[in-house]
Chain A
Amino acid sequence: EADIYQTPRYLVIGTGKKITLECSQTMGHDKMYWYQQDPGMELHLIHYSYGVNSTEKGDLSSESTVSRIRTEHFPLTLESARPSHTSQYLCASSEGGTQETQYFGPGTRLLVL
């Protein structure tokens, strides 16, 4: 069973606020990912990391930033939330190697008013 956690699960916040979405995994996985997904729609990769101190932007341009100071932790930050940031954010991790099953967290649903 995958051990990857996201908090908060739901967040309603006003425009202009700074927010950090937390993601933690206890599997020791090197690779971690952030996806943005509008409800019932496709996934868009916005950030990924190969390991500590490694972060890369994904396919979809995002105003968010990420950090990877510890293997198990990959937080995503929005400095100034806007209504266009309203979406679901999914965190995932994978072991790295030849077979790259990704384990997903339950997601954070963000609503920016």
Chain B
Amino acid sequence: GEDVEQSLFLSVREGDSSVINCTYTDSSSTYLYWYKQEPGAGLQLLTYIFSNMDMKQDQRLTVLLNKKDKHLSLRIADTQTGDSAIYFCAEMNTGGFKTIFGAGTRLFVKA
């Protein structure tokens, strides 16, 4: 079945770049997403990329998609302490029936 995998933890220093990686198995994925969850809150969409794109940039966020390797990454430039959160990678299949979420990457930003 479909699966989305992420590393569980990432620790960076304030001001450095963070790169959060994700791999997925469904080659028919049409949209891939990054969601952010702060403590005690629901998930909030950060950005998404359509499967025919290689890259998408939005201010400090850069999403890279390698469809051949089924690899998605989120780069956060100039990481701030406010970026500390859990980041979920997700994919939607062509049927659009459901979105598959990864287990989330816990980003710790050290001052």
Binding site for B on A (CB under 8 A): 40-43, 45, 48, 90, 92, 94, 96-107, 109
| Contact in complex: B43, A40 (CB < 8 Å) | no
Greatest chain A CB density within 10 A among B50, B86, B101 is at B101
Closest to A45 in B: B98
Contact sample, A vs B, 8 pairs, CB 8 Å cutoff:
A40-B86, A45-B98, A98-B31, A100-B92, A102-B35, A104-B42, A104-B44, A106-B42
B contact residues, range = 20 to 34
Supply 11 further A-B pairs (C-beta < 8 A) apart from A40-B86, A97-B96, A104-B43: A40-B106, A42-B102, A42-B104, A92-B42, A92-B43, A98-B30, A98-B31, A101-B33, A101-B45, A104-B44, A106-B40
A-B contact count (CB 8 A): 53
A41 to B103, CA, bound (A): 7
Specify which chain A residues have a CB less than 8 angstroms from the CB of B48 in the assembled complex.
Answer: 99, 101
Please state if B41 and A100 are interface contacts (CB–CB under 8 Å).
Answer: no
Q: Which of A48, A99, A102 is within 8 Å of B43, CB to CB?
A: A102
Chain B residues with CB under 8 A of A103 = 45
Contact A100 B86 (CB under 8 A): no
Check: B87 CB closer than 8 A to any chain A CB: no
B101 touches A90 (CB 8 A): no
Main secondary structure of the interface of B (DSSP, over half): strand
Does the CB pair A102–B41 fall under 8 Å? no
Interface presence of B66 (CB below 8 A) = no
Q: Assess A100 versus B42: contact at CB under 8 Å? Given A40-B106, A41-B103, A42-B102.
A: no
By the criterion CB–CB under 8 Å, are A107 and B42 in contact? yes
Interchain CA distance A48-B106 in the complex, whole Å: 26
B24 at interface by CB-CB < 8 Å:
no
Contact between A100 and B102 (Cβ–Cβ < 8 Å)?
A: no
The 10 tightest CB contacts between A and B, nearest first, are A104-B42, A42-B103, A104-B43, A43-B101, A100-B92, A106-B42, A101-B45, A107-B42, A105-B42, A90-B42
